[in-house]
Structure 1
């Protein structure tokens, strides 16, 4: 028996050893001596504070909460009560919604369900589904990140990635506007990663494209993987949604495909600061539409090279991340809340960086971090932080800042494609 210094209590040597080991752990692990329930409470309070601050600032700058959901609901109500007015220039009074319906008739059929319930009920229901699906995607993506980078599990736990995702600009604005972006992204992602076959994914993107046309670009994923059948299934599913409405409501279907879909001004000004696409950048500098078409084709080529070259080494989650980013870049209008694909894109860059020899790695990750920061805040919020309104005439540096986002995303993708192609040529030459 010996005396522990500073105490009047006798302890056996084994107890002293255990005590010293415990105290040494306390000096290295934050909050290790704190009871687990207290740690949980502190984490929950911190998460709640971040989310509340994020949403409070965004809500203050938002014109009308649930504005896009009002468009869905108004389109469904118009289909039920006055079908011929579905594609009128404006539906409803100002802010209720005071906007045109820009989706295929198939979407109006689905949205008619919301017209049969109170606005508040439908808005909460849509956002609840978005939240659940979004968290399922985050959980799967975080698990993959931990498997790819084991050390990341310590500084990137699930609760942190979920908080960042929910507080980020695309998710935040999707919730505030009552958009369907997260549901469409989640439907494509979860069917792609949960099934060995790509056929469920193909059906999912075909149905999603029946609601919003952009998911059609995700057929680049099976194309890069050399899978023809999923492409045919996706195209067939989409055509089935359009043929169904053509049979039941031919006038509306023809009006959509001959008038509404060819008028991009129906979804807002292409030059608006929140349009984070190639077309948005070019519109702000007055470039002709032909240049956008050329750059869009080149962009698809860049992403195809990256996805095709790494098809046997890159996970399906990363393939989908690259495909989603490509779709967002080439779309005429990609508001910041459409970039719910960015977490998947960032994961794709991270996985690709372990497979190819990237030059200028620090510049590569700085560009990725810059793009993530712009999206986390969103262009509209950045402008408001400087005392300006997004609808006003803005100084030149604002447009440069947001053009750099598109350049950063395209630059990172080009670096991956070029490095993958170069590595493949080097390996082929070495084998020969």
Structure 2
């Protein structure tokens, strides 16, 4: 049975879920949730959803087939109930991330802190965009963190594989697990992802077309030059005035991703798994051909992680995602391609902020020895692993 403080914490998360679900049910109309429901309905009707766009929004289904299978429950609900359920689930996952990060840091989590942090997170553009679109990013973030922060557990890695089965980008965390020496968890993640591919091919009509056609279409998810695409590929597209050749994109993205993962390994060895996981997320967001601003919900746990290291760094980092400078400029309908040279600085704010924080963390990691918190965490994990 949970202790009284534990019950209070569960009650505070539940309160966040109830309030968010109520608001979501009243507001409704979330465009990406419409696509998710269309995908789920296509499974029920055995309809080739990749061939046609969602009739409500006109948006195509851009996720792997396995994602459509998971969307069947929201397809079965009335629109208002689906909106409420999805918003409540997203809010609950964000609240759970707050609890998970604070506990991993060895910090207390007062029950009132959870709703306060959940409310404050709405100031971050990626968070409120995630709600406004009815996106899945907060849910995937929690799945990844549960596995990456405790990879020694018997089934750790499976949730990472499932997250990658919903969106391919979390496959970067399989590489992160390998880089930090968690080969068993990485293998489980790869196996789980492979299972999602097989299940999707069997259960979803026309699933093969995603892997043979849709996956290779760079414009399938929207215009890559759009200011909201805060990735290396998006930045190059805006600078060059056209999508970069694959060779150029890979020549920039692959070494950059590898460098970020090496910095993550350094922090893992120092015992700070939260920063290591968040750096893995930055590697994912920078490397992905398209990282819409709502994909950057990882700004929230990174802010919490930085707060323990440097208040200044945390505040500067947070300010970027509150201010969303890329939207100060003319954007949409190709206007990003006409930006003057200096406008690419605010226009690629999330990318540049990430590069800056990675550089700072790289220097900081070399400057000191593992923290006492990190050593306690590592030794504690070793003892748990030996007991198993």
Please name the residue that 2:67 is paired with.
107
1:302–1:413 CA contact under 8 A, matched in 2:
no
1:188–1:201 CA contact under 8 A, matched in 2:
no
2:144–2:159 CA contact under 8 A, matched in 1:
yes
Match of 1:217 among 167, 172, 178: 172
Match of 2:226 among 268, 272, 275: 272
TM-score, L = length of structure 1: 0.70
Please name the residue that 2:83 is paired with.
123
- Max Rg structure: 1
The alpha-carbon distance between structure 1 residues 113 and 294, as it changes in their structure 2 partners (threshold 3 A), is: same
The 2-side partners of 1:158 and 1:105 are apart by: 34
Please name the residue that 1:168 is paired with.
124
Question: What do the CA deviations read for 1:245-283 (whole angstroms, capped 9, x no partner)?
Answer: 32344x623211111111121111111000111111001
How far 1:313 moved relative to its partner? 1.7
The 2-side partners of 1:187 and 1:217 are apart by: 14
**1:138-149 alignment to 2 at 5 Å?**
138-142=98-102, 147=107
The 1-side partners of 2:40 and 2:257 are apart by: 34
What is the SS of the residue equivalent to 1:87? Answer: helix
1:184 to 2:156 alignment: no
How far 1:423 moved relative to its partner? 6.1
Match of 2:183 among 228, 239, 248: 228
Question: What do the CA deviations read for 1:162-191 (whole angstroms, capped 9, x no partner)?
Answer: 322133211211111111110110122234
The 1-side partners of 2:122 and 2:196 are apart by: 32
Please name the residue that 1:83 is paired with.
47
The 2-side partners of 1:228 and 1:253 are apart by: 30
Please name the residue that 1:357 is paired with.
none
1:106–1:242 CA contact under 8 A, matched in 2:
yes
The alpha-carbon distance between structure 1 residues 163 and 247, as it changes in their structure 2 partners (threshold 3 A), is: closer
1:189–1:320 CA contact under 8 A, matched in 2:
yes
CA-atom RMSD in angstroms: 3.2
How far 1:227 moved relative to its partner? 1.4
Please name the residue that 2:360 is paired with.
415
Please name the residue that 2:255 is paired with.
298
Question: What do the CA deviations read for 1:342-397 (whole angstroms, capped 9, x no partner)?
Answer: 1222344455x58xxxxxx97xx3xx6444323224457x43xx7x5644625435
The 2-side partners of 1:323 and 1:246 are apart by: 29
The 1-side partners of 2:156 and 2:283 are apart by: 18
Match of 2:344 among 396, 399, 417: 399
The 1-side partners of 2:105 and 2:220 are apart by: 39
Match of 1:374 among 308, 320, 323: 320
Question: What do the CA deviations read for 1:183-218 (whole angstroms, capped 9, x no partner)?
Answer: 11012223444x562554400011111111111111
How far 1:158 moved relative to its partner? 5.1
Equivalenced residues, count: 340
Moved more, 237-246 or 195-204: 195-204
Which is bigger in relative contact order (C-alpha 8 A, separation at least 6)? 2
What is the SS of the residue equivalent to 2:322? Answer: helix
The alpha-carbon distance between structure 1 residues 337 and 401, as it changes in their structure 2 partners (threshold 3 A), is: same
